[in-house]
Amino acid sequence: MRANVQRTKIAEMENLSRQLNILRVLLRVAKEIRIIDNKKYVNLQMIIDEIGRQIGGWIKSVKKS
């Protein structure tokens, strides 16, 4: 049962990571077509990068346990 819960958690976090990557692409497109300026792009990219690091850490943590 525990292994099943662990697989579910990992799958959900990996799905979240994929969605975050889609957000990165959409943000880049928004910058390229000038929906957002460079300053906003940099700020949002920093936030997204931090979220990505947190997700990666959670995935590693769950895989170790």
One pLDDT digit (tens) per residue for the chain, 65 residues: 666 778 888 899 999 999 999 999 999 999 999 999 999 999 999 999 999 999 999 999 988 87
Q: What contacts 65, CB < 8 A, 6 or more positions away?
A: 6
DSSP state of 36: S
Residue 1 has what pLDDT?
A: 60
Q: Residue written as tokens 């990996």?
A: 14
Inter-residue contact 13 to 59 (CB < 8 Å): yes
Segments making up each domain of the chain, as ranges: 2-64
Residue of 59, 47, 49, 50 lying closest to 6 (CA atoms)? 59
Residue 14 has what pLDDT?
A: 93
pTM more than 0.85 = no
Q: What contacts 14, CB < 8 A, 6 or more positions away?
A: 59
